[in-house]
Amino acid sequence: MIEPRYTGHCHCGALGFRYATYRAPAEWSVRACQCRFCRMHDALSTSDPDGRLAFVHDDATQLQRYRFALQTADFLLCRRCGVYIGATIDISDASYGIINTHALDTPPADIADVGAVTYDDEDVDGRISRRAQRWTPVVSA
């Protein structure tokens, strides 16, 4: 894995991630998905298909995977503090993920503007294809 530049954790520290990207924060694609889950968690997601992402944990028993809607990805929440840190999807022999920028340990001051997005019109194949193209490859910690 390339050297991590950004780290994040849930509130209690049980779950976290290491996000490596060469993109400057001002160039990140920060998305405010308009689905009910993301709105209720005030999630702002980002990813870099040229970066690397590792999800880590201090206490694996606190990891809650949650699937909804088209059931294509696992949304990662902490059982103890309730924070949503990111999501993963397995496609063929690879895993991809996104992070919730609100879980960054030190959010960059110059992070890109947020864009509201909706994926309501996607079917399962379209959603998987988009994620394979846009989400960050997940690697072992």
Sign of the torsion angle spanned by Cα atoms 64, 67, 68, 73: positive
Residues 44-78 pLDDT 10s: 999 999 999 999 999 999 999 999 999 999 999 99
Give the pLDDT of residue 95. 97
Mention the CATH class of domain 6-133.
Answer: mainly beta
Give the pLDDT of residue 4. 58
SS3 87: strand
Give the pLDDT of residue 140. 87
Which residues touch 48 (CB under 8 Å, ≥6 apart)? 21, 22, 23, 28, 136
Average the pLDDT over 114-134 and give the result.
93
- Does the pLDDT at position 2 exceed 70? no
